[in-house]
Structure 1
Amino acid sequence: MARQSNIDTTRQEFLKESYRKENTLRNKWFREHFGSDALPAGVGGAESSTSPEPEKKVGNRGKPTFIKIKPAPATPPKRASPAAKESESAVAPGPEMRPPTPETKKMIYTGLSCEGNGRVAYLGKRKGLAPEKKFEYPLTSALEVGWDISEIAKTADIKEVHYGKSRIVRDTFFAESGVM
Structure 2
Amino acid sequence: MVQAWYMDELADDPRLPHRGDPCSPVGLEQLRRLGVFYWKLDADKYENDPELEKIRKERNYSWMDIITICKDKLPDYEEKIKIFYKEHLHLDDEIRYILDGSGYFDVRDKEDKWIRIFMEKGDMITLPAGIYHRFTLDEKNYVKAMRLFVGEPVWTAYNRPADHFEVRGQYVEFLAQAE
| TM exceeding 0.5 | no
If each structure's strand is expressed as a fraction of its own residues, which one has the higher value?
2
Q: Select the structure of larger CA radius of gyration.
A: 1
| TM-score, normalising length: structure 1 | 0.17
If each structure's helix is expressed as a fraction of its own residues, which one has the higher value?
1
